[in-house]
A and B are shown apart, each in its own frame.
Chain A
Amino acid sequence: MQTSTIKKPTYVSSRNACKLCAPLGASLVFKGIEGCIPMIHGSQGCATYIRRYMISHYKEPMDIASSNFSEESTIYGGNRNFVQSIDNIRKQYSPKVMGIASTCLSETIGEDIPALIAEYKDKNQDDTDLPLFVHAATPSYQGTHMDGFHEAVLGAVKSLAEEGEKEMRINLFSGFISPADIRGLKEMMKDFGVKYTLFPDYSESLDNPCWKDYHLIPEGGTPIEEIRAMGKAAGTIEFGTVLNKGSLVGRILNKNGCVSAGEWLQNNFFIENHNMIMPVGIEATDRFMMTMESLTGTKMPEKYILQRGRLVDAYIDSHKYVFGKKAMVYGEEDLVIALCSFLAEIGITPAIIASGGESGILKKELISRSLIDPEKTMIMAGADFESMREMAQEIRPDILIGNSKGYYIARELGVPLVRVGFPVHDRVGGPRIKHLCYEGTQELFDRIVNALLEYKQEHSPVGYKYM
């Protein structure tokens, strides 16, 4: 068995990237603000590609505006397009919030979006319907979609959260999770009987029921009042330990300029930040629950004790089918860390752990939290799918756990792929996949076990009906 190393990419070029660009992550966050229309300050294609990519996963309307740069705006600056774009969006959508993400183009030519926003507000100061503005600097040459995501979360909190007298209230930065997972967390907050702000909440806006008429801005999103109230909370829980640290890679300036929204609230409003890995698996969920208990002073409701009990029971019922299997786990860094924590509980070895993210701390996180056996694991940071494919041909995992884009590798190896995270472009129900807490883990666990059972059954010479 090879010793664990960070596998350095052997190619200069990216071959089938395992990451997306930063404005996508920011657009997603803006979809999680009530009454918000995202606008991408750059070329038309950025908005259209991102819309198309997200529609193929969420299967929901995805109106994202573009300031539609021309050659002229690239040379003389995009302020005219910026103003025209906001005016036109307001005429069509009357948004309560404008979420503005920059692009590689607007950042390279030096567009100062905060200044453009200030100018717009200034010129329209008599306008009583002026939307709120939230902005994220998301040059796609810095980090990945996750950095864009967390940059937008931070941007929203910075511009909207207000300090106030502390009350019994919890902030939950749940990260890039599925709408189904968000719904699960909201239900849990309710069960704990605590006031909370979950942000960003795209559980409805990206997973809506059918409508009679087209809704220009879909229902849902974290209400502005609740984002404002984040400054009054008793504590913050933040899922993910890597967060936006990947944006530092390749930076030549501002190497220290990276805080998460939870850290920012702690630094500025003295709200204690409880940073933890995403609660996938029992131990990670226990940690989350214990934090909930200590913050709220409320015991974990009976419902969750039962869910936990059933999950342990399921682990035991199926442990033999998964034990010793080798998995290739890939996707966003915080997602793969959480998945490794879960896989360690059930005896699956994550033989290849790969992410397109390049925070530089993936290995440290995995080892310092004892989530992996370094002797049995190949960690690929900043990986693309072709490097993963080459590694997988060597290591021959029994199962792949990750998004749709690894399907071609699974197909070539002839092993099952359990789809998690984003994007799920080749199946329906991506937004309804659950990963988190006892219940989400239960579903994920069953899917993994069943994928392995199905593989075994289909490769058996006997068409058996009992396991």
Chain B
Amino acid sequence: MSYILEERKKQIARVGGTVKDIDCGKVSLAGSVSQRACVFCGSRVVLYPVADALHIIHGPIGCASYTWDIRGSLSSGPELHRLSFSTDLREKDVVFGGAEKLRQSLDELIDRHKPKAAFVYSTCIVGVIGDDVESVCAQMEQEKGIPVIPVQAPGFQGSKKDGYKIACEAIFKLVGTLDKPTPKYSINILGDFNLAGELWILLEYYKKMGIHVNASITGDGRVDDIRNAHNASLNVVQCSGSMIHLAKMMKEKYDVPFLRVSYFGIEDMSDALYDVAKFFKSEELMDAARKLVREEIGRLIPALVPYKEALSGKRAAIYVGGAFKAISLVKALRLIGMKTVVIGSQTGDKDDYKMIQELCDDDTIIVDDSNPVELSAFVKETKADLFIGGVKERPIAYKIGLGFCDHNHERKEPLAGYDGMLNFAKEVYATCMSPVWKFVK
């Protein structure tokens, strides 16, 4: 029988049960074996897809090695983001300071790669040893004539979510530094990272509606687009956990309004298009959106039928990074006849969990910042057939004979948009219907 730590009990609830208000937004409990990463990770994953920027990690080598080419974020042009640069600090640097090594590294790398900007991530020990990263960045910025932005992300200073915020602040430093003419209906896409080319699917939809995407932050991202981002009329924010802070800052300073969307599943995807049309108060856009949705759904619904027939009644467990994505997944699963029995996230907030309480069926287990001990017990107890999660959840599922769908940032199949929904159904079908399970059941 697995053990749920006393301190963690408030972070677990059951829909329809006594706990109404799930505890969340806390630092992970020491020794709980949280599935979360750290502040640095949060900043790194958000900024990573900016393809024409130099990303250099100032610290010992591990953090750079583990984040080399880590996301399946595609670029339609430069691929500088896929290289892993580090100052690779050693003991002598720790003792005598690493600032000079950082300066030399920036100097040689900017000369070699001619990036449009540089992000300098400092990891755990940089603050502790007192390197003046800010002044090195300022000096290099002046010498090289490109923005050199410090991203102070020591792993211990909060959680992954704090890293998102730090990344938003780094991006915000770029916003407003370039003015280019932008068309009438122009939006920024915030919080899509172009995993497996998902952004390109969305661009196609918006293009069909007659909407111009000004900057995509950060999927297939470009420094100059970000610098000009304040000239868009609207920020459309997905994965709100990571990007809402940027949207709020842009609202405050540049008066760019924002709305929250999700691109997973039919309902949410369609709402994302309708809401944008609604914002511009244009019948023309709305008609285009309706037409697009009608066509796409007309294609998609019949295509989903065989999957739904096969999967109806099956039970799914969801444990992902952001709660907003989890919510979309519940709806997407319903579309193919599946019921969610466990749902959790690393970084959900009160509102997210409230929404989940309202959305999910009774007895669904809701969990914040979970771990292998709990997750393995929950999927067993609820007799889940499928687990949706990331790399760290996959072996938990497979080891005890559950199907698994990868919704993590390394995946190679797009799951956003209408085509993404079909891919999702196919993947869930493939894992649930595989004959291999007969050997473990």
| A interface residues, Cβ below 8 angstroms from B | 11-17, 19-24, 39, 42-53, 55-56, 59-71, 73-74, 81-82, 84-89, 91-93, 103-105, 108-109, 139-142, 144, 208, 210-216, 249-252, 386, 405
Contacts and interface: CB of A to CB of B under 8 A. Distances in A.
B395 A12 contact: no
B30 A84 contact: yes
Contact of B394 (A24, A55, A142, A214): A55
Given A61-B395, A61-B396, A88 B62 contact: no
B90 A45 contact: no
Contact of A45 (B27, B37, B94, B105): B37
B303 interface: no
B31 interface: yes
Nearest to A72: B156
Contacts of B25: none
Contact of A141 (B93, B155, B392): B93
B259 interface: no
Contact of B380 (A14, A70, A214): A214
Interface stretch (B121-129, B177-185, B273-281, B287-295): B121-129
A81 B30 contact: yes
B124 A52 contact: no
Given A52-B392, A105-B124, A213-B380, A16 B84 contact: yes
A246 to B, nearest CB: 11
A42 B63 CA distance: 13
Given A44-B37, A48-B36, A250-B93, 13 more contacts: A21-B60, A59-B395, A68-B29, A81-B30, A84-B29, A104-B89, A105-B124, A105-B156, A108-B128, A108-B129, A109-B128, A212-B440, A216-B372
Contacts of B123: 104
B31 A210 contact: no
B249 interface: no
Contact of B31 (A19, A46, A70, A87): A87
Contacts of A65: 31-33
15 contacts: A11-B108, A12-B104, A13-B88, A13-B105, A15-B109, A21-B65, A22-B62, A43-B39, A48-B41, A48-B392, A55-B391, A92-B33, A141-B60, A250-B91, A252-B95
Interface string B317-331: 000000000000000
Contacts of B395: 55, 59-62
Given A11-B108, A12-B101, A249 B90 contact: yes
Interface in B373-413: 373, 376-377, 380, 391-392, 394-396, 398-401
Given A109-B128, A139-B60, A141-B60, A70 B33 contact: no
B415 interface: no
- For chain B, the bracket of interface size reads 35 or more
A89 B60 CA distance: 27
B131 to A, nearest CB: 12
A81 B31 CA distance: 8
B226 interface: no
B83 interface: yes
Nearest to A91: B3
A214 B128 contact: no
A212 B439 CA distance: 11
B400 A55 contact: no
Interface of B: 2-3, 5, 27-41, 56, 59-68, 83-95, 101, 104-105, 108-109, 123-125, 128-129, 154-159, 371-373, 376-377, 380, 391-392, 394-396, 398-401, 439-440
Contacts of A144: 61
Nearest to B5: A88
A86 B391 CA distance: 25
A296 B396 CA distance: 42
B61 A13 contact: no
B86 A14 contact: yes
A44 B34 contact: yes
Contacts of B40: 43, 45
B396 A15 contact: no
B64 A14 contact: yes
A141 B94 contact: yes
Nearest to A109: B128
A47 B37 CA distance: 8
Contact of B87 (A14, A51, A93, A104): A14
B41 A45 contact: yes
B31 A45 contact: no
B30 A49 contact: no
Nearest to A51: B392
Given A43-B155, A46-B155, A214 B372 contact: yes
Contact of A88 (B31, B125, B396, B399): B31
A14 B85 contact: yes
Nearest to B105: A13
A409 to B, nearest CB: 13
Of B32, B128, B154, which is in contact with the most chain A CB atoms at under 10 Å from its CB? B32
Contacts of A249: 90
A60 B396 CA distance: 8
A210 B2 contact: no
Nearest to A88: B31
A268 B3 CA distance: 42
Closest 9 CB pairs of A and B: A45-B38, A21-B62, A88-B31, A43-B155, A250-B90, A85-B31, A214-B376, A13-B105, A85-B30
A92 B373 contact: yes
A20 B128 contact: no
B25 to A, nearest CB: 14
Contacts of B105: 11-13
B55 to A, nearest CB: 12
Given A13-B85, A89-B31, A208-B399, A20 B394 contact: no
A405 to B, nearest CB: 7
B45 to A, nearest CB: 11
A408 B95 CA distance: 36
B342 to A, nearest CB: 14
Contacts of B156: 42-43, 69-71, 73-74, 105
A46 B36 CA distance: 10
A15 B83 contact: yes
Nearest to B104: A12
A17 B34 contact: no
A63 B33 contact: yes
A242 to B, nearest CB: 18
Contact of B66 (A50, A141, A212): A50
Contact of A67 (B31, B92, B129): B31
Contact of B37 (A48, A142, A213, A215): A48
Of B124, B372, B401, which is in contact with the most chain A CB atoms at under 10 Å from its CB? B124
A409 B320 CA distance: 33
Contacts of A16: 68, 83-84
Given A12-B104, A60-B399, A93-B373, A46 B62 contact: yes
A64 B29 CA distance: 14
A277 B440 CA distance: 41
A241 B86 CA distance: 29
A68 B30 contact: yes
B74 to A, nearest CB: 15
A42 B156 CA distance: 8
A109 B85 CA distance: 25
A93 B1 CA distance: 11
Contact of B68 (A17, A21, A93, A212): A17
Given A44-B34, A214-B377, A216-B2, A13 B56 contact: yes
Nearest to A141: B60
Of B41, B68, B156, which is in contact with the most chain A CB atoms at under 10 Å from its CB? B156
Contact of A53 (B27, B39, B66): B66
B5 A91 contact: yes
B400 A213 contact: yes
B65 A19 contact: yes
Contacts of A68: 27-32, 34
Contact of B400 (A48, A82, A211): A211
A88 B377 contact: no
A52 B83 CA distance: 19
Contacts of B35: 48
